[in-house]
Structure 1
Amino acid sequence: MKNSLQVIGATDIVDLPELGWFKVPVRIDSGAATSAIHCSRVRLIKDGEKTSLHFDLDTKKGAPQHSYVVTEFKETTIRNSSGIDEKRYVIKTRITLFGKKIRTEFSLANRGKMSYPILLGRKLLKNRFIVDVSQKNLSHAKRSSGAIRSKVKGK
């Protein structure tokens, strides 16, 4: 039997349990390679030999008021929506979508001017989802109704 892909709409509502952030509206963007999360006060702090990454989730976008510190992160160059390359830090965390916990990478970005605090990109979507832009909040609807929508690969 072939693996099936879950249909996901243009938007959805997810949980980020490791960050204590629940019912977060997200935008699906198959044009973006990586996923991004809206943060503020992103900074590196060196303590002797150790370097840690500190950041705040922006409470204006519904995030819990909390500062986060991670020691596992990387720095990468990402082309933003304006086509300009910018350096960003990338963290790994779990996202709950369609009842499944998925460990994935998020770049820390200033999405203050965007409608959605989180963008889900191709690396998360690949081999898991088919995007139907005419739909929205299918994962959230599934929580309420238990309805399942899927499509077999290659069909």
Structure 2
Amino acid sequence: MTSARSPKRLLGRRELVNFPTFALGGIEAKVDTGAYTSAIHCANIHIETDAEQRPVLVVYLLDPGRDGTDGHPLTFSEFALRDIRSSNGEVQERYVIRAVVQLYGENFEADFSLSDRSDMKYPVLLGRSLLRQGRFVVDVAKRNLSYKALARAAARRTRS
């Protein structure tokens, strides 16, 4: 019995992604095949307790001054604390959440480690676990392929 596998989709080394659950769109992401877990920039990461005295993770995603963010905190009742190896080889303990990221107009749920990426050029990093899930391959000579494909499709619809 053979299974019909969808073809692999092409991503560039940089992509514009949406996070529909967080109402954030057009966020610049670096596609990093060397990273296993995806990452998203956030600040003021801390634990509080909810009304039932359960721990909740509170974060400010991206920078409050960045377009598309409102500076309000997000809370997560489901999260994990994991050891993540940074790009310099150092192991850091980071909070990890499940988030929905949108590429080619399709939603993918993936783990994102939360860290201060303010010194990095791109606030989001897309790692191998997400790339495998979506059956993506990367062409490092290209950029924003997902966004451009959606823009072309929208232009065709308006001409019809």
Say whether the fold is shared (TM-score over 0.5): yes
2:64 to 43, 59, 72: 59
Bigger shift: residues 46-55 or 107-116: 46-55
TM-score (norm 1): 0.89
Contact 1:61 1:117 in 2 (8 A): no
Matched residue, 2:76: 70
Matched residue, 2:126: 120
1:90-115: per-residue Cα shift (whole Å, max 9, x none)? 11111110010111111101100111
Q: Give the aligned residue type for 1:144.
A: A
1:31-73: per-residue Cα shift (whole Å, max 9, x none)? 0000000000000113564100000012244451221011000
1:126-149: per-residue Cα shift (whole Å, max 9, x none)? 1510011011100110111139xx
Contact 1:80 1:86 in 2 (8 A): yes
Q: What CA RMSD, in Å, does the superposition of the two structures yield over aligned residues? A: 1.6
Q: Which 4+ stretches in 1 moved above 4 angstroms?
A: none
Higher relative contact order (CA 8 A, sep 6+): 1
Structure 2 CA distance for partners of 1:80 and 1:60, relative to 1, 3 Å: farther
Contact 1:32 1:121 in 2 (8 A): yes
1:85 to 75, 91, 102: 91
Which is greater in Rg? Answer: 2
Contact 1:24 1:62 in 2 (8 A): no
Matched residue, 1:153: none
Give the number of aligned pairs: 147
Q: Give the aligned residue type for 2:87.
A: S
Q: Give the aligned residue type for 2:131.
A: L
Residue segments in structure 1 that go unaligned for 5+ positions in a row: 148-155
Structure 2 CA distance for partners of 1:13 and 1:35, relative to 1, 3 Å: same
